[in-house]
A and B are shown apart, each in its own frame.
Chain A
Amino acid sequence: MNQGDRMTQHPLAKYLRSERMPHIWCEGCGNGVLLSSFLTALDELKVDLDKIVVVSGIGCIGRAAGYVNVDSFHTTHGRAIAFATGVKLANPDLQVVVISGDGDLFAIGGNHFIHAARRNIDIKVICANNFNYGMTGGQYGPTTPLEAWTTTTPYGNIEHPFNLVHLAAASGAVYVARWTTLHVRRLKDSIKKSLQKEGFSFIEVISPCPTIFDRYNKRGTAVEVMKWFRLISNVKHGYDPARTEITNNQIIVGEFVDVERPSYGRLLREMTKRVQEKLKEEKAK
């Protein structure tokens, strides 16, 4: 009996491509927790698995799309959101979720992120933020803290990181939340909320990277990093996104933005209807 067979007993088994389990992620990696949270959200919402598409980018978390038992696509680096835009606009009946990493979404993919948020494309973006580029061995990225050690900042990082929550809110996302992989239940609830809300939603998930980032920066084992999350996380719903910078002493988590704004797809459909009705009138004359 291979490992996949044993997998099929798990209550979430129907949401997984069991033959591909166990997944490639390291022990203690937050990606598995994120995936589990996501699947639990799908389960509780009884999502129609034929009508949801998961799109991922390049990176460790990029492998997530391959593990979910739904239509899925693994794009080129940074282009998951652009691809997802095409899918959602071409078939608005589909729920489109982008699961990707901090580098894929905010370095190479930064431009696509801010425009999709600005346009309010109805896609749900879940970002696994482990503060470095894990897949390629631990280089720094746009969320790497100042002074951190990575393989391309051997003397310490001299770049200021993004505050992803602030960036998402400023770009126009209608739902913005941040949780750590310790806050599994609240993360799952945020995912559920975003799936039921029209518009561009962004959930940042602070993740341990025990094999690489946490090891390089002497943060300890995965358990120690999770305990540290517990120690310094502070739930502050509705807090001003501009002041949610992650520091060594505090990670502010919670739901920061939850507003209503018509999505691009909705405006497009309304405009199309108007134009076509006008054309019909003109033809009738």
Chain B
Amino acid sequence: MKSRAVLTGTHFLSGDLACAEGAIAAGCRFFGGYPITPATEISERMSRRLVEVGGVYIQMEDEIGSLAAVIGASYTGKKAMTATSGPGFSLMQENIGLAVMTEAPLVIVNIMRGGPSTGQPTMPSQQDVMQAKWGSHGDYEIIALAPSSVQEMFDLTIDCFNLAESYRVPVMLLADEIIGHMSERVKIPPPEEITIIDRKKPKVPPNEYRPFKPDDDLVPPMGCFGEGYRFHATGLTHDEKGAPKTVSVEEQTKLVRRLCDKIRKNTHKIVRVQEVMLEDAEVAVLAYGIASRAALSAVRKARKEGIKAGLLRLITIWPFPTELVAKMADHVTAIVVPEMNYGQLVREVERAAKTTPVSLLSKLGEEPHRPSEIITAMRRALQ
């Protein structure tokens, strides 16, 4: 009997729908959201599918409430997510800080559209990339993945949940309107072939449980509401017991650093990239998401035209793989960064590449990069 949760088989789906199916396959059973172009289809699919699998869909009154409800659901042990676009993502920033501070595992999908402000709701962009990392106040780290195909919308959503559970951190899926709305073939494997990671549970009895006491990997095991742990969690700076510590220098230092180091020190385990023809490349294209599709095509074409081109496709954009990019920069003459924004991730590349020249190929608005444009940029970079 086919499980209703995992729709094993080959489908022709849009990116948004594939993302929703990925979430259900990963075990997501709570969605709190608010409709926004171009992510509405995720909400719509979840509103139907979650009822089928016995989960909860609630359309909150705004994105702020949506993320708050998702954090609440996460604290009961459920895998929870929300989906939005730029304007909603901006509204969620304060609660992203709360999720980071209370180490609530959850997934936020941002189908990026033209900004700033209301912008171009039905047009693609990669303009929220920096906001994903720096949008909320305070020092913190999150994880963000960038899918470049509908299949990856399915696969990476599952990875987002696994990373969220492993590191007790909000994980963002940064797609764009094109990938969200286009339809491609998606292969959904049988459930036994899908790796699911769950949050670490406490190994001590309730009276010894310290909700924010980390293990060696800097991640605390998570007891949930209703399991007898009777713990307190707060957005205020707190100690290992969860008690507010709003005056202590030591507690602030300890907590902020651990929340950041949790990701920074595990970057090598978290980062995923795809390298194409980089071994002998003279010019490297560093791309992610929608731009990487044209970049791949451009690199292959360029090789045929005699340019020693290579592609570094970032699947993980936060934490940024600084070391990896620095190493690559040592071996190439120039790096070209095509982005559908006016220069965001390129700054991280410049920082990592140090003396290797980095050039931005910026595109704003409906049309993604053409391979020919990227090849022209590569030629220019090599001069």
Q: Which residues of A contact B (CB under 8 A)?
A: 17, 20, 49-51, 53, 55, 63, 65-66, 69-76, 79, 82-91, 93-94, 111-112, 115, 264, 268, 271-272, 275-276, 279, 283
Contact = CB atoms under 8 A, between A and B. Distances in A.
A84 B76 contact: no
B45 interface: no
Across the A-B interface, the 3 shortest Cβ-Cβ residue pairs: A86-B72, A86-B69, A82-B68
B248 to A, nearest CB: 15
A73 B234 contact: yes
Contacts of B64: 79, 82
A74 B97 CA distance: 13
B73 A89 contact: yes
Contact of A74 (B29, B60, B72, B234): B234
Contact of B30 (A74, A86, A275): A86
B80 interface: yes
B78 A76 contact: no
B232 A90 contact: no
A79 B95 CA distance: 9
Q: Which of A70, A82, A91 has most B Cβ within 10 Å?
A: A82
A83 B99 CA distance: 11
B72 A83 contact: yes
Contacts of B97: 76
Given A50-B230, A65-B232, A86-B71, 18 more contacts: A17-B243, A72-B230, A73-B72, A73-B75, A75-B98, A76-B95, A76-B97, A79-B98, A82-B68, A87-B72, A87-B75, A90-B73, A90-B76, A90-B78, A112-B68, A115-B60, A272-B54, A279-B4
19 contacts: A63-B244, A66-B234, A72-B232, A73-B72, A73-B102, A73-B233, A74-B232, A74-B236, A76-B98, A76-B235, A79-B95, A82-B64, A83-B68, A85-B32, A85-B69, A85-B72, A87-B76, A94-B225, A272-B54
Contact of B229 (A17, A71, A84, A268): A71
Interface of B: 1, 4, 29-30, 32, 51-52, 54, 56, 58, 60-62, 64-66, 68-78, 80, 94-95, 97-98, 102, 225-236, 243-244
A71 B225 contact: yes
A75 B232 contact: no
Contacts of B70: 86
A115 B78 contact: no
Contacts of A20: 243
Contact of A111 (B61, B80, B225): B61
Contacts of A83: 68-69, 71-72
Contacts of B73: 86-87, 89-90
Given A66-B244, A279-B4, A283-B1, A76 B226 contact: no
Q: Which of B32, B68, B77, B236 has most A Cβ within 10 Å?
A: B68
Contacts of B56: 89-90, 268
Contact of A82 (B29, B52, B69, B76): B69
B226 A71 contact: yes
Contacts of B66: 82
B54 A276 contact: yes
A75 B235 contact: yes
A48 B243 CA distance: 23
Nearest to B62: A111
Given A90-B73, A275-B52, A82 B60 contact: yes
Nearest to B231: A71
Contact of A91 (B61, B65, B76, B98): B76
B32 to A, nearest CB: 6
Nearest to B71: A83
Contacts of B230: 49-50, 69-72
B135 to A, nearest CB: 14
Nearest to B97: A76
Nearest to A274: B51
B72 A50 contact: no
Contacts of B78: 90-91
B76 A76 contact: no
B65 A74 contact: no
Contacts of A86: 30, 32, 58, 68-76, 80
Contacts of B75: 73, 86-87
Contacts of A87: 72-73, 75-76, 225
A243 to B, nearest CB: 28
A88 B232 CA distance: 17
A17 B232 contact: yes
Contacts of A283: 1
Given A51-B226, A73-B102, A76-B68, A272 B77 contact: no
Contacts of B4: 279
Given A73-B75, A86-B30, A87-B72, A271 B232 contact: no
Contacts of B74: 86
A85 B231 contact: no
Contacts of A279: 4, 52
Contacts of B225: 53, 71, 87, 91, 94
Contacts of A76: 68, 94-95, 97-98, 235
A115 B231 contact: no
A24 to B, nearest CB: 9
Contacts of A268: 56
A90 B51 contact: no
A111 B64 CA distance: 10
